Amino acid sequence: MNFKIIIAIFLVLFFALPGIAILVLHLNYNSAESIPECRAITIYNNYNYRARLIINFRVHNTEGRIFYEGMVYEDNKKIGLLHRQINFRITRMPGTKGMRGSVHYKGYAMKAFPNDNVSHEVARKFLPPFFLSEDGEIYFDLINTNKGLYLVKDNVPMFFCNPR
């Protein structure tokens, strides 16, 4: 093989491909359709139950994943730990642009981690159905600010998400 061709291939591989990889990563990270990773802390209260949950989620195009965990209390007495994962699909409602507008999240897979010891019957007393079943669903209005993202349900902010 000609020495000049070898050098030309080397230069293309050495200089062009890393630049393309960086460009792809940059576009992927800044895509209006993606949240690489986001963290929110929320407290659910209902009846005599309370749960402070740390929620981490990722969104990429039409799919997402939520991890949540936290202690559950009944009458201020610790009764267990929630630790689950939900995979979901996203439908953006008409007029939604990137992370502004309304979205519909519909679960398709759910996993409870081994340390999760709160029964479904107890969890459903304070959590929305989306967080409890494989096929749960929820609508959010997204309000994107320069500090983070609000996820609002029925005009009530449910989460304020700080990008990580």
CB distance 149 to 24 below 8 Å: no
pLDDT < 50 regions, the chain: 1-3, 5-32
Which pLDDT value is given to residue 47?
A: 81
* Whether this model's pTM surpasses 0.85: no
Q: How far apart are CA 70 and CA 84, in angstroms?
A: 10
Domain boundaries, the chain: 1-30, 35-163
Q: With residue 117 as reference, give the H or E element that holds it.
A: none
Instruction: Give the Å distances, CA to CA, from 94 to 85, 89, 97, 100, 134.
Output: 28, 16, 9, 11, 25
Half-sphere exposure in the Cβ direction for 118 (13 Å, CA)? 25
pLDDT digits 0-9 by tens, 56-70: 988 888 899 999 999
Which pLDDT value is given to residue 78?
A: 97
pLDDT digits 0-9 by tens, 69-93: 999 999 999 999 999 999 999 998 8
Which pLDDT value is given to residue 105?
A: 92
